[in-house]
């Protein structure tokens, strides 16, 4: 049984092949809405220029996707509202206030707003560390960000992504406890990354995604990497699209990247990201779409202000717009894309006034020190 078939029979809609529109391949454009950089300056509030620029490009591409597919194009935006944002921007709700007009326009276009969190915390010397070892801190980042989302947007948060290619079972329990229906963190095939090649000081390695399925599934409660054939979880895990290179290709790419990161270990997997070099994006996209079992395409873009990457994003959007067969796809949100597969997340929703079960009080944001 494939992972996409893990929902209980009574939960699935009619087979996707039964209606021509439902048989379209869902293309999920997932945008991380976050600050410019990682080790942020606390001395002044700074606009998120990368988000502004990436949003401009995606909004401009919307009409082209609609023309090619014959259907409106919608995206999913994952907004940072965690403690690092609160500390540097003055409030976790700052993005919603600063970009209120932008988010209102995106929602009118049918886009989905979700939540994106990182586990950054202050260090004793005034720096930052990604603390994925202290589970109480991780849970605090998720719960506090979720509260800020609800306060800001006055709506249920349906979609979630954790940052830095990390997640664990306990954190997914929290996500489900909050009534969130869809997690889009997983990058199938990715092995843990440790040491200085992670992009910020970090306690612990990234998660091991090497064995996770490439199709949407409901997790085994004891190990999120395994599907649960009984479909007991209300949380639907929607993996990003990845491609595993042949060994020689992986070695060549690693050699090129070691010019910038000398300690880089060979990584034979590439995630479909709009900020890839265009030739690489075209290659990965073609390989993802060539899979006989492809049920969805989920591509990522992080809002970074680098001029070169903005050029690549613009180029890659043209590649996607001109791709043969786009007329048999639909660019849509994560919940709508899963609905086209007969899948729905969030069956066990939390009440509006709080989580389903009580939890210990969150930790105070004390600086971390070894």
User: Mean pLDDT per segment of 10 residues, for the chain of length 370 residues?
Assistant: 39 39 87 83 84 96 96 97 92 96 98 96 82 92 97 96 94 96 96 61 82 95 91 91 75 60 65 94 95 95 78 96 95 97 71 32 46
Alpha helices in the chain (DSSP H): 49-69, 83-89, 94-98, 100-108, 135-153, 169-177, 247-257, 278-289, 307-321, 334-340
What pLDDT is attached to residue 206? 79
Whether the CB-CB separation of 356 and 350 falls below 8 Å is answered with yes
Q: Can you say whether residue 113 is alpha, beta or left, with left for phi > 0 and alpha for psi between -120 and 50 degrees?
A: beta
What pLDDT is attached to residue 265? 57
What pLDDT is attached to residue 45? 79
Going by DSSP bridges, is the β-strand pair 112-117/159-162 parallel, antiparallel, or unpaired?
Answer: parallel
Q: What is the DSSP string of 175-211?
A: HHHTT--EE----TTPPP--GGGSSS-EESPPP--TT
Going by DSSP bridges, is the β-strand pair 217-220/236-237 parallel, antiparallel, or unpaired?
Answer: antiparallel
Sequence-distant contacts of 201-206: CB under 8 A, at least 24 apart = 201/123, 201/127, 201/128, 201/129, 201/130, 202/129, 202/130, 202/132, 202/164, 203/129, 203/130, 203/131, 203/132, 203/133, 203/134, 203/368, 204/132, 204/133, 206/164, 206/165, 206/166
What pLDDT is attached to residue 124? 80
What pLDDT is attached to residue 13? 35
Instruction: Tell me how far apart the alpha carbons of residues 294 and 243 are, in angstroms, rounded to a whole number.
Output: 12
What pLDDT is attached to residue 360? 34
Count CB atoms within 10 A of the CB of residue 25: 18
Instruction: Tell me how far apart the alpha carbons of residues 339 and 332 are, in angstroms, rounded to a whole number.
Output: 11
What pLDDT is attached to residue 305? 62
What pLDDT is attached to residue 185? 97
Q: What is the third-level CATH fold of 29-240+291-340?
A: TIM Barrel (3.20.20)
Residue that the structure tokens 């326009």 belong to = 105
What pLDDT is attached to residue 156? 94
């Amino acid at each position: 049984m494939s992972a996409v078939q893990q929902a209980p029979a009574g939960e699935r809609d009619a087979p996707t092949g039964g209606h021509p529109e439902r048989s379209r391949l869902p293309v999920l454009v997932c945008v991380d809405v976050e600050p410019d950089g990682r080790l942020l300056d606390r001395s002044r509030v700074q606009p998120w220029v990368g988000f502004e620029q990436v949003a401009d490009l995606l909004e401009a591409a919307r009409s082209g996707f609609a023309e090619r597919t014959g259907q409106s194009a919608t995206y999913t935006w994952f907004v940072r509202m965690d403690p690092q944002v609160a500390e540097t921007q003055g409030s976790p709700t700052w993005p919603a206030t600063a970009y209120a007009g932008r988010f209102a326009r995106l929602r009118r276009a049918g886009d989905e707003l979700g939540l994106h969190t990182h586990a950054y915390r202050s260090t004793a010397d005034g720096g930052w560390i990604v603390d994925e070892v202290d589970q109480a801190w991780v849970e605090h980042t998720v719960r506090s960000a979720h509260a800020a989302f609800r306060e800001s947007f006055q709506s249920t948060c349906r979609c979630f992504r954790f940052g830095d290619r990390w997640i664990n079972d306990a954190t997914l329990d929290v996500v489900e406890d909050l009534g969130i229906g869809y997690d889009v963190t997983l990058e199938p095939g990715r092995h843990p990354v440790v040491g200085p090649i992670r992009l910020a000081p970090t306690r612990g390695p990234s998660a091991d995604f090497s064995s996770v399925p490439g199709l949407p599934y409901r997790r085994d409660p004891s190990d999120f990497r395994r599907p649960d054939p009984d479909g007991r979880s209300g949380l639907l895990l929607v993996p990003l699209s990845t491609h595993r290179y042949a060994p020689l290709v992986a070695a060549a790419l690693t050699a090129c990247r070691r010019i910038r990161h000398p300690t880089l270990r060979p990584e034979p997997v590439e995630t479909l990201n709009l900020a890839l070099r265009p030739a690489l994006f075209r290659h990965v996209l073609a390989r993802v779409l060539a899979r006989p079992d492809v049920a969805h395409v989920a591509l990522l873009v992080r809002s970074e202000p680098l001029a070169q990457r903005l050029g690549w994003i613009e180029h890659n959007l043209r590649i996607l717009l001109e791709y043969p067969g786009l007329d048999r796809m639909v660019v849509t949100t994560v919940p709508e894309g899963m609905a086209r597969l007969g899948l729905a997340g969030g069956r066990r929703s939390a009440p509006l006034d709080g989580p389903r079960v009580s939890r210990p009080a969150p930790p105070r944001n004390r600086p971390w020190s070894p």
